Amino acid sequence: MMTYDERLEHLLATAANIFAAHGFHSTTMRDLSRATGMSLAGMYYYVEGKDELLFLIQERCFTEVLTGARAAIAAETDPLERLRRFIRHHVGFFTAHMAEMKVLSHEAESLSGERWETVNRLKRTYVDLLLSVLDSARPEADSSIDARVAAFALFGMMNWIYTWYDTEGPVPPDRLADQLAELFMLGLVPSTVPAAQQG
């Protein structure tokens, strides 16, 4: 037997996987019924409807990344190291929760109204967190790169993962995280040459 919470968890996890695989709109409640083994009507005991399902997945996932990110950088004071940890955590979490994170990245606009706002508030908080980490890490305030551009470039690098990355492929999650961090911080061509050119 399972408890109420376990069943809800099961429903959410299954839904995340199927939303990730087929997209939110293309997934039918019947698909979920089939995949969970619950009856169609039975799911409505746990969840208000399809929208709430998506909402719960996104809210929980966002809350978790947010909390995790805060914890990951909490102890560190060195600006560059804080940034590196933020990146490692995000990529690590993403690769460990591919389905949920794909749903987060891809179905950002599938919600609306109050639910959308709640999720967006979380998102903004998370963006702000990166912005603050970035602010200390960047060389000078008068950098040639806008703060928001830098932040969203980084998010783009990381969130695009769901599009091509395979956990089981030749690049393990850890290395992926390191490479993305290095790429973002030092660039593809980190060499002495460009640095000299700039001097």
Partner DNA sequence: AATGAATGAGAGTTCATTCAT
Partner DNA sequence: CATGAATGAACTCTCATTCAT
**What residue ranges bind DNA (CB under 7 A)?**
4, 7, 27-30, 38-42, 44-46, 49-51
User: From residue 118 to residue 157, what is the string marking binding to its own copies with x (rule CB under 8 A)?
Assistant: ----------------x--xxx----xxx-xxx-xxxxxx
For residue 166, the minimal CB distance to DNA (Å) is 28
Say which DSSP state 48 is in. S
Q: Give CA–CA dist 73/86, Å, rounded.
A: 6
Q: Is 176 in the site for its own copies (CB under 8 A)?
A: yes
Q: Which of 43, 17, 45, 16 has its CA nearest to residue 29?
A: 43
For residue 102, the minimal CB distance to its own copies (Å) is 10
Binding partner selected for residue 152 from its own copies, DNA, none, CB under the kind-specific 5 to 8 Å limit: its own copies
Binding partner selected for residue 45 from DNA, its own copies, none, CB under the kind-specific 5 to 8 Å limit: DNA
Looking up tokens 């001097």 gives 199
At a CB cut-off of 8 Å and minimum separation 6, what does 76 contact? Answer: 82, 85
Tokens (6 digits) for 2: 């399972």
Say which DSSP state 163 is in. G
Report how far apart, in Å, the C-alpha atoms of 182 and of each of 96, 162, 163 are: 20, 20, 21
Contact 157, 184 (CB under 8 A): yes
For residue 146, the minimal CB distance to its own copies (Å) is 6
Binding partner selected for residue 115 from its own copies, DNA, none, CB under the kind-specific 5 to 8 Å limit: none
Which residue ranges make up the site for its own copies (CB under 8 A)? 23, 25-26, 80, 83, 106, 108-110, 134, 137-139, 144-146, 148-150, 152-161, 163-165, 170-171, 175-176, 179-180, 182-199
